[in-house]
Amino acid sequence: MSENLKIAIQKKGRLNNKSMQLLKSCGIEIENFQDRLFVTASNFNLDVLFLRDDDIPEYVQENVAHIGIVGENEMLEKGLDVEPVKKLGFGKCSLMLGIPEKDELNNINELENKTIATSYPRILKNYLAENKINAKVIELSGSVEIAPSLGVADYICDLVSSGNTLKLNKLKKSFNILDSQAVLIKSKRFDNNPNLKRTFEKLLLRIESSLKARKSKYIMMNVPKSSLEQIIEIIPSLKSPTVLPLSNEGLVAIHAVINEDKFWEINEDLKKAGASGILSMPIENIIL
C-alpha cells in the first residue's frame, strides 16, 4: 500500500453510495471500484478501502485506515478509541425500542426487570444505566424483530427507518434510544506524520465545502432600485449580496447565497417587494 491518506468506506450497504457521492462532490476521481477492496484516487493522494461497516472503527483505531465513514451507531457500539470529526448528514436512522402492538410503554421506567433483545448491547446498556433501569439485555446478531414472538425477549432495540419491518413482526415503535447518521472518524495515530496531516486537512476542507453547498442555493433576481434596501433586508445571505446594474436603469440584479430552506420561506416576501425573474440554482462547493 502507498503512503497516501487511507479512508475506509462501507463495501456494501446504505452508506456506500452516499460516501462515494461525497468523495465525487469533493472533486476526487475514483474509477473502477466495483467489486474491489482497495482503489487509489487518480487525482488526490487518497486510497479507499472497502470494508464491512462494523469493521471500520477498528481499522481506524489501529491506523490501518487513517479515516473512515461509518454510522454513529457502529462507532458508539464498538466503543473504540477513534475521533469523530464531522457528521455528514446522510445515512440517518434511529435506534429505537420496539414493543408488541398490544403493549403500552408510557414511561421508560417500565423497562425495569424486562428482557430486551438487541444487536447493540453496549449502546442499550449505557442507555439503561443512564436512566438507572435494571433490565436484562440479550445480544442477537440478526433477526432481532422475531425475539418477542418466540418468547426470547419482552421487547427489542433495533435500528428503525420506516418501521415496516416492525409492523411485519407485529411490533411498534416506542422510546428513541439514539439518533444516528454517517460520521467521519479519524485515527489518533497519524497526526505526527505532517504529509498525511496536510492531506487530511485538504480533504476535510473539501468535505466541509461540499456539505455546506448541499444546504445552500445561489439565487438571482431583478429588483426595482426603489425596493433594493427592503429586499436586501429580506435576504438571509451568507455574505452581503452582490448588486449589479442592468440595462434598464430602474432595475438592478441581486445575486446571493442562502440556506435552501430559507429560500421557500422568503420567496413570497421577495415577490411582494417587487423582485422578479427569481432564479434558484444548486451549488457544487462553498469555501468561506
pLDDT reported for residue 34: 74
Centre a 10 Å sphere on the Cβ of residue 257 and count the other Cβ atoms it contains.
Answer: 19
Decide if 28 is inside a domain: yes
pLDDT tens, position by position, 155-169: 999 998 777 889 889
Decide if 192 is inside a domain: yes
- The whole domain housing 118 covers 93-180
Whole-number Å distance between alpha carbons of 191 and 172: 46
pLDDT reported for residue 246: 92
- Please say if the pLDDT value at position 220 is more than 90: yes
- Please say if the pLDDT value at position 142 is more than 70: yes
* The three grid cell numbers given for residue 45, joined into one nine-digit string: 493522494
Candidate from 88-102, 193-207, 258-272 with smallest mean pLDDT? 258-272
pLDDT reported for residue 163: 75
Short-list 122, 125, 113, CA closest to 154: 113
Q: What CATH number is given to the structural domain containing 43? A: 3.40.190.10
Q: Is residue 2 very low, low, confident or very high in pLDDT (cuts 50, 70, 90)?
A: low
The pTM of the full predicted model, rounded to 2 decimals, is 0.84
Contact 45, 193 (CB under 8 A): no
Q: Are residues 193 and 176 in the same domain?
A: no
Q: Is residue 143 very low, low, confident or very high in pLDDT (cuts 50, 70, 90)?
A: confident
| Domain termination site, one of 159, 180, 201 | 180
Q: What CATH number is given to the structural domain containing 231? A: 3.30.70.120
- Please say if the pLDDT value at position 237 is more than 80: no
Q: Is residue 261 very low, low, confident or very high in pLDDT (cuts 50, 70, 90)?
A: confident
φ/ψ region of 155 (left if φ > 0, alpha if ψ in -120 to 50, else beta) reads beta
> What is the count of structural domains for the chain?
3
Decide if 288 is inside a domain: no
